[in-house]
Structure 1
Amino acid sequence: MIRLLSAVLISVVVALPAQALKVKDTEVADTLTLNNQELVLNGAGVRSKFFVNAYVAALYLPAADQDANRIVAADEPMAIRLHITSGMINAKRMSESTRDGFVRSTGGNTAPIEKEIETLISAFAEEVKEGDVFDMVYQPAAGVTVYRNGEAKTQVQGLHFKQALFGIWLSEDAIQSSLRKALVNS
């Protein structure tokens, strides 16, 4: 299933930007193409923790939107791209940070999606290193597919899960308020 989906969605990874935004020395594409639908860069920013710039995140939507709550709730194609920018990030830290993000995003109620969270985190099983790029792509019919450096790693079904995932960066209790602002106000 993942291989079939990977072939169908391969354009996500090979989409070339007409222009690119530069965020902390990281080129961020202006667009991604998903099943012949162009998604536009809504915003991009840096995830920092303890004075370390961990990654650059970019949010792609069918059309620009500054309402984070509406984006989280939407049942439409979208993607979050994470450019790992620090050698301090590894598989364990990425997994722990993702779990923490889900706790915050769900107000501490991760029980209904615990299995799905573990499936998503399996995409970080191989060592995460500086330069890796993770795409978390949501399509209503397919759910969330996680790509690592262009290769599909896992897929998770469900709008509720997608809402919790995107809520990591966009909920009222997002992992970093300045990153949330950058994703919706750029």
Structure 2
Amino acid sequence: MLLSRIFSLCLLTLSATASAVTVGGEEFPERIDVPGVGNNLHLSGAAVLDRNFVPFYTAALYVPLSVRSGEQLASGMSPFRMTVIWQIPALDDARVDEYWLKSFTDAVGANQMPRIKGNVDRFLALFGAAEHGQTILFDYIPDAGMRIYVDNKPVGQLAGVEFNRALIAIWLGEKAPREFRDTLLANIDGP
């Protein structure tokens, strides 16, 4: 597990001049165009999230060059794209909901969940069962909120800085797996 993460980080670092990076069998371009933001989002990092030593999903984080730290990104004032590609063979909709609900609870704590419950419920309603290769795009634009796409089809938009801080905390917060978080933030300078 550690070796695969180090290998992923090395691939990302060594390919700074390449047009794409491959992590977990998925290819991620170095730069993307996001509607409402433009083509100024650059790949910060890509990593595979494992559950019980089995690849669960591959994720890639895109941010503007102006983002210099994870804390700056977590403030909710900078746009970003998180790409999630399921690596599991299949997951029924009840288990998908269970995964996201536990992830939100871990990220913000049970005592803070009531503050974002309405948006979490709307978020859970956007997804059904997951299958291998399904791609979810999370495009955050501070003035517009979080736009969510499943396999390039828009499925919803959720406003609220507090909710979006909670969502990014799933991947970058204190409770996120450290190696996974650090690899996603690999190309952001600063603390």
Q: Same fold by TM-score, threshold 0.5 exceeded?
A: yes
1 CA distance for matches of 2:66 and 2:99? Answer: 27
Partner of 1:122: 125
CA distance in 1: counterparts of 2:27 and 2:92, whole angstroms? 22
The yes-or-no answer on 1:183 pairing with 2:180 is no
Which moves more between the two structures, 110-119 or 36-45? Answer: 36-45
CA distance in 2, matches of 1:147, 1:115: 20
How many residue pairs align between the two structures?
A: 167
Q: Structure 1 unaligned segments of length 5 or more: list them.
A: 1-17
CA RMSD of aligned residues (A): 1.7
Query: How far apart are 1:67 and its partner, in Å?
Result: 2.5
Of 29-38 and 165-174, deviating more is 29-38
**The 10-residue stretch of structure 1 (24-33 or 77-86) with the greater mean CA deviation from structure 2:** 24-33
Structure 2 unpaired stretches of 5+:
1-17
**Hey, what's the Cα distance between the residues in 2 that align with 1:136 and 1:79?**
5
Task: Quickly say closer, same or farther: Cα 1:27–1:178, change in 2 above 3 A.
Answer: same
Match of 2:115 in 1: 112
Other structure's SS at 2:185 match: helix
Secondary structure of 2:99's match? helix
Q: 1:69 to 1:115 in 2, by over 3 A?
A: same
The alignment's TM-score, normalised by the length of structure 1, stands at: 0.83
Q: What amino acid is aligned across from residue 179 of structure 2 in structure 1?
A: S
Alpha-carbon distance in structure 2 between the residues aligned to 1:105 and 1:77: 20
Distance 1:37 1:96 in 2: 34
The list of structure 1 runs, each at least 4 consecutive aligned residues, that deviate by more than 3 angstroms after superposition, is none
> Max radius of gyration: which structure?
2
Report SS of the residue matched to 1:185: coil
1:62 paired to 2:57 = no
